[in-house]
Amino acid sequence: MGMFDRIQHADPRIGCTKGHMLGELQTKDLDCDLADYNIRDDGMLWWERGGWKNPRSPRMPPLPAGVSGTLRADTGCETCERAGVGILDAWCEFDLAFEKGRLVSVTRAAAD
């Protein structure tokens, strides 16, 4: 039993409201076993490494991830936090929509 998975990316649409680039995201919408995923430059989501489950299991093919659907992913903006913004205000959530493993849209999630 894990808590989340990590998603690396270099997508400029994934930034805080002040425009700072955000790095690694976390999501609870995959297997939640501390695996590392990467959204590559062509938008494809790839499983990179990690996870407590057998990475060759049918549920989690090694590469690419091939998911369709929306993943909620979040992180805090470290730049804003260093500038003294409160951790709640620096928190950023996104809905990442995938079709057959390719990122098709990035939407800032509404604050709860």
Tokens of 79: 């730049």
The nearest distance, CB 85 to Zn ion, in angstroms, is 7
Stretch that binds Zn ion, among 14-22, 29-37, 59-67, 98-106 (CB under 5 A): 14-22
Judged by CB under 5 A, the residue of 48, 79, 89, 93 near Zn ion is: 79
The nearest distance, CB 76 to Zn ion, in angstroms, is 9
The nearest distance, CB 14 to Zn ion, in angstroms, is 12
In order of 9, 12, 34, 56, 62, the CA distances from 42 in angstroms are 11, 13, 24, 24, 18
The order of strands in the sheet holding 35-39 is 45-50, 35-39, 5-8, 25-27, 69-76, 91-99, 102-108
By CB under 5 A, residue 108 contacts Zn ion: no
Complex with Zn ion: residue 21 or 63, whichever CB lies closer: 21
E strand residue ranges, 1-112: 5-8, 25-27, 35-39, 45-50, 69-76, 91-99, 102-108
By CB under 5 A, residue 14 contacts Zn ion: no
By CB under 5 A, residue 22 contacts Zn ion: no
Q: Binding residues for Zn ion, per CB under 5 A?
A: 16, 18, 20, 77, 79-80
